[in-house]
Structures are given as C-alpha cells and as structure tokens.
Structure 1
Amino acid sequence: MENPEEKPIQFHEMELDDRILKAIVKLQWSVPTLIQEKSIPLQLEGKDVLIRARTGSGKTAAFTIPIIQKILNVKKTAIYQEVKAVILAPSRELCHQICNVINDLTIKCSREVRCVDVAPNISINVQKPMLTEKPDIVVGTPARVLMHLKSGTLDLKKSLEVLVIDEADLIFSFGYKDEMKELTSYLPSIYQAILASATLSEDVLNLKSLVLHNPVTLKLEEPELAPTSQLTHYHLMAEELDKATILYALLKLHLIRGKTIIFVNTVDKCYKLKLFLEQFKIPVCVLNSELPATIRCHSVYQFNQGIYDIIVASDEKALEDTAAVSKKGKTSEQSSKRRKDKESGVSRGIDFQCVSNVLNFDFPLDVQSYIHRAGRTARGNNQGSVLSFINMNEKVLLDKVEERLRAGLKEISIFKKYQFKLEEVEPFKYRAQDAWRAVTRIAVREARLKEIKQEIFNCQKLKGYFEDNPTDLQVLRHDKTLHTVRIQEHLADVPEYILPPSLKSLAGITKRKRKNHNKTGIKSKRNKFEAAKSNPLLSMKFDGFVDKLKKKGKK
C-alpha cells in the first residue's frame, strides 16, 4: 500500500494565496516540478536554500512564488511601501525573463505586488524615478543594483527580507566577484537568501559562504538533462563544407521541423551561417554577445513569437571562462580583439520557448556547454532533439560528452547515428559550395556594419541629436553602399531534378505532369479532327468549286 506521505505535493496544498493559484491555472501549470515541490515549502518557512537543478526544471518559479506569497502576507499588516526582495541575475535577458515570470504570477494581484527591472537595458537616470516609488521586488544585475545602492536611490538596510541569486555559477565567471563582495555591505544583517544554479561549481560554493547562513542544499537526484525518452541525441559525421550542404538540405527539404536553435562557436561564424542560409531564402535571426542588449532581447522575442523559426547563436567559451589565461599571460577577455558583453550568455538563462531542435553546427568546446545547449529544448514535459555535426577533430569531444551523460544510466550509447546519406544530396553540394564561398570575410564585416548602422537609426538616445543635426543623419544614410552577399532569386527554389527519389515524398514535392505526346501521331490527328468539327470554317470543303475550274480548263 502506498504511503500517503510520498505523494507529490500539489500547488493548492502549499498554502498559497488564491490569486497566485489562479495565475498558475492561467499559465496551465498542472503540477509542480520536482524542484518546485521540494523548495517552495522550505522557502515559505524562511530557510536559506541552495537550489541545484538542471536547466528547464522550473527554478525561476521555484523562487518567485514564495517571494510573492511573502509579500502578500506582509501587505496585510504593512503600513509603509518598501523593497522586500532583490533578485540578482548575470545577464540582462535573464533579468527581463524573471520579471516576465513575476508579472505572469501577479496578474491577479498586480496592485499589491510591483516588480521593477533595473538591468542595464535603459539609462540609470530613467530607473531612478521607478525606484523612488519603492517597488516590492527589484530585479537586476549585480553591477546595476550596486550603482543604485551607492547613489542612494535604493536602500535595503531596513527593508530587505529576501535575496535571490539566479544562475549563481555564472555570477563570478561573468566578472561580478568584486561587485558581489561590495554589495553585501549594503544588506541588513538578517535576511533570507536563495541561490539557484544548474551546477555546484567552486564559484557557487564561494557565493554560498558569502550570502547564505546555514542553508538547506537541494541537490535533486536527477540527470543533468531530460531523459532519453524525452530528449533524443543524434550525431552525424561531416567536415566543414559538408556541414553546410547537409544543413541546407535538411532545412530546405523540411526534414527538420519546428523551432530550431543552431549553435556555433564564434561570432563571425554566426554571421557567415546567417548570410549562407539567406541566399536560399531561409529566414534566420542571430544572437551573440556583441549585439546591443535591445537587439538581443528583440531577437529572443521574435523567435518566441514565431516570427522566426530558426535562430543562429554563438556560444563563445570566453563568456563562461573569463578567468582562463592564455599562453601569453592574458585573460581571454583581454586577448579578444572585440569587446564582448559580459552580461550576455546565449546558452544559459535565456528562456527560448517551445524549441523542438538544437543543432550543433560547431560542437561545443566542453561537456558543460553541451549540457546547457541541449537544455534549451525538451523543457518541462516537451519533447526535443539535439543533432550534432561532428568532424574528425571533434570526435574526442563527443566521446567525453557521451561518457559524462552515460554515468549512472543503463543505455549502451546516448548518441544515435543520424540516418543521412550524403551521396543522395550530392547535387545540393554544388549550390552549397558556391553559396558558402560567397560569404567572405569582407561580406561578414559589411553585414555587421549594416546592422550597426540600422541600430544607430533606431537608437532613441540619438534621436534628439539627429533632430538637431539633420546633416549628420543624411551623411550616414547616404554613406557608401555596403556589399554583403548577392541574393540570387533562383536559389530559393529546389529544382526537381536535384531531388533524390527517397526524399521527394518527405520534401512534399511531387513530379509535375508533362504533356503526353503520342509518338504515332494518332492523338494529334484526333485533336485536329475535333478542332475542325467544332469550327465550321475549318470543316468547309471546296471540291465542287475546284471541279468546275477543271472542266472550264478542258474546254
């Protein structure tokens, strides 16, 4: 007989406010995830908690629901409006995402619980009036929250009750170590602290000693990724040029369906792949660390809204390992020629919604990066798949990932071989080679310049400047024409003659009916007879008139 104590706790059994429960019903969360079930009661009791759970397990709701409940409890007797909770996250996108979750959960009590996002997506002067109203919850990056504490627009010494640090394993690696140490001096001596992380790295343990007091550690006994019944891993051996050919064939023949994230390892490859696919009229958007925050948020929004079904994302190792030292003694951030935004991490934190496929065009550089990339799909109870293109140099990395994922599992092999015959799409290769070579380094540079110019035109901060200096705007608009890649209209279609017979039905392309010309000429004669019969002018005969002329000639 089953022990009733072992039954999972439902949301309505957690003593949550009815307004929160109504919002949960509207979000269609039927049952709490494992991390929500275990952590929410502990947080409601006021305990410090270290949450360790895999990507996509519902960590955001696990710490936002108790915060909202606590604020609603305080509001029953509160006299003054004060900031009760601060949520710190390493990236602007993640701050925006957390605010969206809070807004969804407080849709029935938006007057009682107010949340403000102070991530660096807007000017600090614009945020100051928002903080003077003392919202209940403040969400932001450590650097921006510290700026407001120093300026005096945010005071937490007497009011703060809950501090949450999301994606805690990235806080130090994104360069916030000094900010976090300084920020703690502005906090009260007693407060509840929550750390949420996908891994228990050394950085997390350092943060734990910095902000937690005798915490409860929730390290759930679950795999780092969704089970193989929910998430399928494929691999396909291919060299660089073959990767481009296969990707073109898979997307153009609709062999990959649903929302797809294509991961590469560098920013330049991100744009190269975008320009390559656009030649075949395959619409994609890009996401990388060098884009301004507004563009990054807009790209994620367009992808989540279904405007684009494909997003090409660069996932540079430099972002997650800023402490790595090169042979010359410089950090990877210092040795980089371009300035990367430390507050952006593509494979981490961002909630890409309803992703069906993750495609590794470049295989990730370590096991942890693969886990975080694969965690973008098969979230919640949804199905998903990961397809990785592997060249000979990347085979070693694949073996390391498989060894890690197989630990503790009964499966002989995690990665399935993707059934794809390269020789069947050999005719595609010539098109793909031409298109790939057309995307030169100059074309990539010009494409990026074009994007920067467009951002300048759309920038609200420069709008006033251009109104006062219209000549500068005209000069910028009539600057030299940028030449990226010539779009050839005929590449948008897939000719029937290059399709292999086995893929025609899958691609949804049927053979066009051709006119049947009878070699014996019987059908053509019948057509002439039918035409003559229907047209009286063609059916007229002049034999009698010709005979009279012959008789006159004889006489």
Structure 2
Amino acid sequence: MTQFSDLGLAEPILRAISAQGYETPTPIQQQVIPAMMAGNDILGTAQTGTGKTAAFVLPLLNTLAKSNRRPDAKACRALVLAPTRELAAQIVESVRAYSAEMRTSVTMIIGGMKISKQVRAMQRGMDIVVATPGRLLDLQSQNAIRLDQVETVVIDEADHMMDMGFLPQIRKVLAQLPEKRQTVLLSATMPKDIRALADKFLDNPVNIAVAAESRPVERIDQSVRFLTPNQKRDALTEILSADNVDSAIVFTRTKRGADRVSRHLEDAGVASAAIHGNKSQSQRTRTLDAFKGRQLRVLVATDIAARGIDIDKVSHVVNFELPNVPESYVHRIGRTARAGESGTAITLCAPDERKLLRDIEKVIGNRLPGSDAAGPDESQGEKAGRSFRPEKDGQPRRRPRRRGPRGQGGAKGHRKGQGQSSQAS
C-alpha cells in the first residue's frame, strides 16, 4: 500500500501530514502528486470527497520547499482558482495546515471582503494566491496583482465554474499567464466546454480519472421518500430529530427556501442556520465555524455550498428539494461519507419533482431505494391545497384566488405580482 512517504515529498510536508493524522494517500492523490511533481500538466476527473485539494496542494508546497526564491511585489508563484468563497477558504486552510513547518505565504482573494485588505496583502508578494475569478480580475484592473510570475495555475471544480458562468473570466486569466507554466485542471465531471478549455490551455496533459464520472461514493446509504409539499417540513423535522443524526446538511433550491426551512427547524427546536449567496462573507464564515464546532447540528444551504464545504463527520445530507441540474445531486450528497466515513443521504420528492428524480437516476446509473414506491400523486397535492405547477422561491405556487371580475384588481392583479422571483444561488 502506498504511503505519503513513498511519494518523494519534502520532510516538513510529511511531518505536517502526519500531524493531521494522514498516512495513506487516496487514489487521486497517488496519481496527481507524482505527475505534478514531474512538472506535467494535469487533467483530472474525480468525484467529490476523494481528496482533490491535497492532491494539488501537496505538490505545490513541495515545489516551494525546494526554492527559497521570494515572489516580487504584487506577484505570486502559484495561483488557485475556485468557484466559491467557501471552497477558496477551505483550500487556504489546507495550505496552512500542510505548510505548518514551512515559511509559505498564502492569501485569499474573494468577493464579499474588503478589497483594500487584499490589495495590501499582494503588495508584499505571495507564494500562493487562492482566488475566485471575478475578484482576481478586479484586483488586476487596479494593477494590484501581477500574473507574470505564475509558475503553476490550478483550476479547481472546473465544471462548477462553468455552471456559475465563470468560463469567460477563466479564459481571460489563463490568456495572461506566462506561456511557460504548469496548468492543472480538476473537475468532478468533464462536459464538452471543460474539455475544450483543457484542449486550448493545457500542454499534453496527463489524464487522470478516478472512479466513474458523476457516481456517488459507495459508502453513502441513499434513499428517497415521496411526499406532498405540505408533508416535507414535518418529515424533515422527524429525520433530523433522530438519535443517529450527528450533523446534517439540508439542501434547498433557493435562498428564500433555505431561510424558511431554517426558521422552521429553529421553531421545532433543531439548532440550525442557513448559508447562501445573500449572506455576507462574515455571516457565512461564522455559520460554517459554528457548524464545524458542533454549536449547530444542521446547516441549511443552497447549491453554492455543495462543493464549497469540506467538513468531516457530516452524518446526513437531506435533499429537501431536488436540484434542477442532476449532477448537483452528486455534489450535494458528497458532503457526507468524507475521509473514509460512511453517510446517509435522504431525498424528499414531491410529485412535481419526479422528472428531476429520474434525471438524477440516469446520471448516477441507479434507481434510488424507495423510488419504486407510488407516493402521493397530483390529485393528493390538490387536496392539500397546492397545485404542482413550477415553483417560485422554492415553494409550490398556490392557485390564484379570483376576488373580482377580470380587470378590476382580481385575478389579473394576482398574476402581475407573480412575475417577481428570487434568483437561486
């Protein structure tokens, strides 16, 4: 069995890894670390929770350990691009943990924080910069950061970047980097646009694929329950009140939906908080710290958190609402069963979400246990006072009540108000 000590990493890094309690590299680490240390470009595909972060952070640190050269003012030697603030913070945390016995400078350049602080940090020059694309380009437009000394660039969660519309910004960043550099692109899936990006910017890359694309890890016990929308909240409270739920992440489709579910759980006596794009960075950081420290047992999140949270010992994931993009299901449930642990993923499916469920099952290549059950149909939903038309803000729309003849402030006025909706994150 391969050990980290077999990979040729510098002694200070091996001591830091050992202090973190790790001895055996994961399959993606066994393949990416030697290939990066050999100077190759990398095109890596691995499902979430397989250890991609350490796979690129450790060889980056090994390169820095071999050289005492300091970056010039405003410059950096390694650049890591991440799609979300949470993922960027997790990467910086890993860099600091694995470089505990080295003198490595690292900073985070993300939105939601004061840009002046980030400008001051870059004035000294940095070994490693971890950034979201938009804020990185903001700093570059102010001449606060230089990209001409980047030796290695890592694009993490590339398919999530694509989903969030970052590909034009990534192309703009890559086009400004030195022609002679190492490029590492890591992704959970490999859609055509990501493959095209790799073909343009990677030089004869080593292709590394670990496990089947979009397949959930085998250690997750998955199931689905069919419920009407009115039944979902009570079912969620029952699930989370069970003794075997150590900590859980509940996923909704929208920001407002996350807030509503969190308030319901708090009213039911379940300690929880919501995290989504409308929260400030300081709020999101405090909430994550409380969840990590077990002051909160439940985190309610939109898909912004599906890949940006790397927390061990999350026992349960509950899909309160199914994602519109079936691949997001894989990233959601990948928040459990990390670092060799097992986990449980429960999906609550309303009648109007059955097509989304079938799309998910096509992606993962399996029927979810319980998906053959009949469950409630639309007629039962109507009896519950709801119609199963497209949802607004994560909640099924009620049938409009006509309060007067058309044109006199009745049904027409109601439809006008329905035109507003909240942007999902």
After TM superposition, what 4+ stretches of structure 1 lie above 3 angstroms from structure 2? Answer: 78-82, 221-228, 416-419
- Gap change, CA 1:308 and 1:225, over 3 Å in 2: farther
Q: Does 1:248 align with 2:237?
A: yes
- Show the 5 A alignment for 1:55-454: 55-75=48-68, 78=69, 83-109=76-102, 111=103, 113-157=104-148, 159-222=149-212, 224-228=214-218, 230-252=219-241, 254-315=242-303, 345-406=304-365, 413-416=367-370
Question: What's the C-alpha RMSD, in Å, of the aligned pairs?
Answer: 2.6
Preserved CA contact (<8 Å) 1:225 1:375: no
Determine the C-alpha separation between the residues in 2 that align with 1:114 and 1:123.
Answer: 19
Structure of greater relative contact order (alpha carbons < 8 Å, 6+ residues apart): 2
Amino acid at match of 2:150: L
Preserved CA contact (<8 Å) 1:250 1:256: no
The structure with the greater share of residues assigned to helix is: 1
Q: Residue deviations 1:496-548, cap 9 Å, x none?
A: xxxxxxxxxxxxxxxxxxxxxxxxxxxxxxxxxxxxxxxxxxxxxxxxxxxxx
Preserved CA contact (<8 Å) 1:231 1:383: yes
Question: What secondary structure sits across from 1:355 in the alignment?
Answer: coil
Question: What secondary structure sits across from 2:189 in the alignment?
Answer: coil
Q: Which protein is bigger by CA-based radius of gyration?
A: 1
Preserved CA contact (<8 Å) 1:226 1:378: no
- Gap change, CA 1:49 and 1:377, over 3 Å in 2: same
- Show the 5 A alignment for 1:12-51: 12-51=5-44
Preserved CA contact (<8 Å) 1:161 1:192: yes
Give the CA deviation at 1:98. 0.6
Q: Residue deviations 1:314-354, cap 9 Å, x none?
A: 33xxxxxxxxxxxxxxxxxxxxxxxxxxxxx2212322332
Q: Residue deviations 1:153-205, cap 9 Å, x none?
A: 32232x22101111111223323333223323431120000011111012312
Preserved CA contact (<8 Å) 1:149 1:186: no
Q: Which runs of 5+ in 2 are unaligned?
A: 377-383, 385-391, 396-425
Determine the C-alpha separation between the residues in 2 that align with 1:118 and 1:214.
Answer: 30
Determine the C-alpha separation between the residues in 1 that align with 2:43 and 2:213.
Answer: 18
- Gap change, CA 1:137 and 1:395, over 3 Å in 2: same
Preserved CA contact (<8 Å) 1:235 1:418: no
Give the CA deviation at 1:417. 7.3
Amino acid at match of 1:105: Y
Amino acid at match of 1:129: R
Preserved CA contact (<8 Å) 1:50 1:216: yes
Count of matched residue pairs: 376
Identity %: 28
Preserved CA contact (<8 Å) 2:217 2:334: no
Amino acid at match of 1:65: L
Preserved CA contact (<8 Å) 1:51 1:197: yes
- Gap change, CA 1:155 and 1:401, over 3 Å in 2: closer
Preserved CA contact (<8 Å) 1:288 1:314: yes
Preserved CA contact (<8 Å) 2:71 2:127: no
Give the CA deviation at 1:265. 1.6
Preserved CA contact (<8 Å) 1:358 1:386: yes
Determine the C-alpha separation between the residues in 2 that align with 1:48 and 1:346.
Answer: 28
